[in-house]
């Protein structure tokens, strides 16, 4: 089974990153295709540059992108295509392309004639793919069956969050303000942005319908990203709305709504375990002990007396005999109030120094500490919409509003499915994916 976590931008996608982070390892790079493309210090590897451009970003090193979006330093590197990575990756932690799969499936360039075949080799071994992608990524290849998981958000709140994300300055991951959206929108207000038909059409106008139906460019095969204009993008129609609904009904095993996520009976980070997704064997050896050690439940407590001596404690082997023949009164220790230490018995692989809560104000907990939730406070951000701004968003997201209402019933069914998985989690979970239609 291949599972695709389709992360819709500004719809709780960072929650999915946090939930499935336990499946990946920050120190191990051999099973994650995305990490194999980079060095431990996050520097791109030259020998895998072609794969990175094609499989992660949807860019191509050939003329199909019309020379406008060539990946840097790829034309002279064939090693990433000719040499198969060993061991074969079985996961991809971060894909970021809405141009895929069309740009790759339409590729017939002479520079890398085996690029599509090599991509299919990798994708047919994937167990889990997580990223900002659109429906249809499975057409690059998958295991015997595939299924998707996603989360939707009310279109008005999502578009407002998208604008605030474009306004973030500086970029949260660094000290430099190199976000192109921030520079291109200088002097714009959110109303100007909404009324300009040439800016970020794919993200501010029926974005969820486009992604879930798999809409790309017309004709297909052209590269585009979140900054592309409407020149080559398909216009969203009622037919595309029905397409998105059909995909949700037939190919998505779990569909959540961000506003109703409190309905989840377990934290979202428990989802990989309920779905039967476990870490790769070599990663599991690092996070779980190889020698099985019996331990008590977390609720059990052990009370130790600080002034107790070994002679005064009967052994387990002669427990009955010690009770039947107590020592004389003169040999008994003087009864004193013992100083008691209460210790929580934790699993052996989690034996760490207990965390001490220091006095002071409570620390703010982020939804995804290692991800990039939209920081607040940058100039231009909006947190309360006017009536005109709300009307503009609703007019441009007519089909997203209908799709969101359709997803309400799917959210309820997904919560019920999670409850069913909780009841069978002690067994090997055999998930119910959908066949390739």
Q: What is the pLDDT of residues 323-370, one digit of tens each?
A: 455 555 545 455 454 444 444 444 444 444 445 555 544 443 333 333
What pTM did the predictor assign?
0.74
Give per-residue pLDDT as tens, 301-316.
Answer: 333 333 344 444 444 4
Per mean pLDDT, which of 16-20, 181-185, 242-246 is the most reliable?
Answer: 242-246
Phi-psi region of 65 (alpha: psi -120 to 50; beta: other; left: phi over 0): alpha
Instruction: Look at 54-68, 197-211, 404-418 and tell me which has the smallest mean pLDDT.
Output: 54-68
Residue 26 has pLDDT above 90, yes or no: no
Say which range, 184-188, 306-310, 416-420, has the weakest mean pLDDT. 306-310
pLDDT score recorded for residue 17: 82
Which token pair is 316? 């387990």
424: phi then psi, degrees, rounded to nearest 5: -110, 15
Q: Identify the pLDDT of residue 66.
A: 47
Banded pLDDT at 318 (limits 50, 70, 90): very low
State the Cα–Cα distance between residues 119 and 97, nearest whole angstrom. Answer: 15
What are the two backbone dihedrals, phi and then psi, of residue 324, each rounded to the nearest 5 degrees?
-80, -20
Query: Could you tell me which residue, 184 or 410, shows the higher pLDDT?
Result: 410
Name, in order, each residue with C-beta under 8 angstroms of 346's C-beta and a sequence gap of 6 or more: 295, 298, 352
Mean pLDDT within 282-301? 34
Q: With 90 as the cut, is the pLDDT of residue 65 above it?
A: no
pLDDT at 285 over 60: no
% of residues, the chain, pLDDT over 70: 65
How far is CA 187 from its chain centroid?
34
Segment 404-419 shows an average pLDDT of 95
For CA atoms 86, 91, 96, 102, give the dihedral sign: positive
Residue 368: predicted pLDDT: 36
On the question of pLDDT at 420 being above 50, the answer is yes
Q: Comparing 54-68, 124-138, 280-294, 384-398, which segment has the lowest mean pLDDT?
A: 280-294
Size of the chain, expressed as the number of residues it contains: 437
């Amino acid at each position: 089974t291949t599972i695709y976590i389709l992360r819709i931008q500004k719809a709780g996608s960072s929650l999915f990153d946090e939930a499935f982070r336990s499946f990946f390892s920050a120190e191990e790079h051999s099973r994650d295709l995305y990490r194999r493309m980079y060095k431990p210090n996050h520097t791109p590897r030259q020998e895998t540059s072609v794969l990175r451009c094609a499989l992660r970003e949807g860019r191509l090193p050939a003329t199909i992108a019309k020379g406008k979006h060539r990946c840097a330093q790829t034309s002279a590197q064939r090693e990433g295509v000719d040499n198969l990575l060993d061991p074969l990756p079985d996961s991809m932690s971060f894909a970021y392309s809405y141009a895929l799969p069309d740009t790759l499936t339409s590729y017939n360039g002479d520079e890398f004639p085996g690029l599509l075949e090599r991509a299919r080799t990798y994708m047919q071994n994937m167990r889990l793919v997580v990223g900002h992608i659109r429906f249809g990524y499975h057409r690059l290849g998958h295991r015997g069956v595939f299924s998707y998981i996603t989360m939707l958000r009310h279109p008005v709140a999502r578009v407002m969050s998208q604008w605030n994300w474009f306004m973030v300055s500086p970029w949260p991951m660094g000290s430099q303000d190199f976000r192109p959206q921030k520079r291109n929108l200088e002097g714009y207000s959110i109303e100007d942005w909404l009324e300009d038909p040439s800016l970020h059409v794919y993200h501010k106008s029926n974005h969820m319908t486009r992604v879930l139906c798999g809409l790309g460019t017309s004709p297909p095969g052209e590269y585009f990203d979140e900054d592309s204009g409407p020149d080559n993008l398909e216009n969203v129609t009622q037919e595309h709305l029905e397409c998105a609904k059909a995909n949700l009904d037939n190919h998505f095993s779990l569909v959540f709504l961000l506003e109703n996520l409190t309905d989840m009976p377990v934290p979202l980070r428990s989802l990989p375990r309920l779905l039967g997704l476990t870490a790769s064997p070599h990663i599991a050896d690092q996070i779980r002990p190889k020698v099985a050690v019996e331990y008590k439940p977390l609720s059990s407590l052990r009370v130790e007396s600080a002034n107790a001596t070994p002679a005064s404690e009967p052994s387990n082997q002669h427990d009955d005999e010690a009770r039947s023949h107590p020592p004389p009164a003169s040999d008994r220790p003087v009864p004193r109030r013992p100083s008691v230490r209460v210790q929580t018995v934790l699993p052996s692989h989690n034996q760490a120094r207990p965390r001490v809560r220091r006095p002071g104000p409570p620390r703010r907990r982020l939804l995804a500490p290692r991800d990039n939730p939209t920081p607040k406070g940058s100039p231009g951000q909006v947190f309360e919409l006017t009536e005109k701004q709300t009307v503009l968003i609703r007019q441009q997201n007519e089909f997203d509003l209908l799709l969101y209402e359709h997803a309400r019933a799917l959210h309820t069914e997904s919560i019920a499915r999670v409850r069913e998985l909780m009841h069978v989690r002690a067994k090997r979970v055999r998930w119910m994916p959908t066949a390739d239609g």
